Amino acid sequence: MAVQVATDQDFEQILKDNPRVVVKYFADWCGACKMFAPKYKRVSNEEENAGVVFLEVNAEHNEIARKAGGVDNLPFLASFKDGALVEGSAASKEEYLRKLISLTA
């Protein structure tokens, strides 16, 4: 599934409509965020992750979504199950992303 860009306007509705959501929070100035983006996109397109919605949220412009994930540094990854935050951390490692995906199952 393609990575979707979410904003404060649609973030809560996306969480409500999708039981399994993983979010990558980023900022335009964040070099590590840019370097992690291709890995995030590749994992999102893997067949076994078809039931997971992958979001990208610009943390600088979306305070509601940022607070929902507990973002304290960038890049930041978070997983949500049935609309509730399961886990999140400042990370840009594929292994951690895969752990977050498994927590939504």
Q: Which positions are catalytic? A: 30, 33
Q: Where are the alpha helices (DSSP H) in 1-105?
A: 11-17, 31-44, 63-69, 94-103
Please list the residues that pair with 5 across neighbouring strands: 56
In angstroms, rounded to a whole number, what is the distance separating the alpha carbons of residues 50 and 46? 7
